[in-house]
Amino acid sequence: MILKKKNSRVYTVNLFADFILSKIPQTEDTVISISDCKNFIVIKGQTSHKEILDINSISTEFNEKYNPKFPISHTIDLIEYGIRLPKVKELSFTLHKSENCSYHKTQISNFVESENSYSFEYQPIEFNDDQLIITSEFPHGHSLNQGRLIYLYGKHIFYSIPLNYPVSTISFTLSTDKNEEGENIISVYNSYKESDDEILRSAILDVFDFDMSSINSEMKKVDWSIELTNPLEEYPFVKKRNKDFVIF
């Protein structure tokens, strides 16, 4: 993932996607995608929730709460309701050894917090505010069963890797499905070793049972917007180390 400049267009659409998501019960399965086309905002999504949202009032509340540089207006609501969404069982993603493992340490070192804003010394071109269309990104706008919970569990695993084990960047594929041996299906590519890390993979399977119910419960108590408004902060229950995770 790439750290978002506060009040950039991509920051705003990600924040708005999560804000809409907050208006839907967390027991529902939902995916919300926001596209900023400059002169209008397209809200595309599917949810198992059946009660139609008042997007106009939600947009007004969002603008009043966050006062974004690019206010939400002229919305086109394309959310589909009462849709049965299959639970996401597998996810591939990359994590880094840093203060918040979603972001590489070089990004964090260039991330400057001032009194009123965040800024980049280097702003990737893909997030240039002059782009014609900017679209929200995973995990924002995704409910827990739509991949977000697996992502958080992967972060929990990463934070638990023993400090003396050589890692810098790990590319995970995690699945809640099991193979013929009854093990969860996972792959671990360790950039430090420049190869698949079978030692780390085996150690993960020895310790973690992929029971994500605790993180699921904790996520229902917290404000998801801090993932953007305070991006270097991490949920304590995600960062809590599993003391049984030892690699010899």
CA dihedral 27, 81, 62, 216 (to 10 degrees): 20
Boundaries of domain holding 15: 9-85+118-135
Whole-prediction pTM: 0.91
Q: What is the pLDDT along the chain (248 residues), one digit of tens a residue?
A: 888 888 899 999 999 999 999 999 999 999 999 999 999 999 999 999 999 999 999 999 999 999 999 999 999 999 999 999 999 999 999 999 999 999 998 888 877 543 334 444 434 434 567 889 999 999 999 999 999 999 999 999 999 999 999 999 999 999 999 988 888 999 999 999 999 999 999 999 999 999 999 999 999 999 999 999 999 899 999 999 999 999 97
Q: Judge whether 247 lies within some domain.
A: no
**69 and 162 housed in the same domain:** no
Q: Judge whether 164 lies within some domain.
A: yes
Burial (Cβ within 10 Å: 0-12, 13-18, ≥19) of residue 27: exposed
**65 and 127 housed in the same domain:** yes
Q: Which of 153, 174, 246, 150 is nearest to 207 (CA)?
A: 246
Q: Judge whether 54 lies within some domain.
A: yes
**CATH number of the domain enclosing 36:** 3.30.300
**170 and 196 housed in the same domain:** yes
Q: Judge whether 3 lies within some domain.
A: no
CA dihedral 51, 56, 58, 62 (to 10 degrees): 160
Q: Judge whether 123 lies within some domain.
A: yes
Q: Judge whether 72 lies within some domain.
A: yes
**166 and 74 housed in the same domain:** no
- Counting the structural domains of the chain, the total is 2
Q: Which of 80, 4, 88, 11 is nearest to 43 (CA)?
A: 80
The answer to whether 224 touches 14, Cβ cutoff 8 Å, is no
**97 and 175 housed in the same domain:** yes
Q: Judge whether 62 lies within some domain.
A: yes
Please report, as a single letter, which amino acid is at residue 231: P
Q: Judge whether 4 lies within some domain.
A: no
Those residues with Cβ within 8 angstroms of residue 208's Cβ, 6 or more apart along the chain or in another chain: 157, 184, 242, 245
**122 and 182 housed in the same domain:** no
**81 and 95 housed in the same domain:** no
Residue 165 CA to residue 171 CA, distance in Å, equals: 16
**49 and 122 housed in the same domain:** yes
Q: Which of 246, 233, 228 is nearest to 99 (CA)?
A: 233
Q: How far is Cα of residue 86 from the mean position of the Cα atoms in its chain?
A: 19
**179 and 221 housed in the same domain:** yes
Helices (H) and strands (E) in the chain, counts: 8, 10
**78 and 95 housed in the same domain:** no
Tokens 């839907």 belong to residue: 24
**161 and 213 housed in the same domain:** yes
Q: Which of 239, 3, 33 is nearest to 105 (CA)?
A: 3
**27 and 100 housed in the same domain:** no
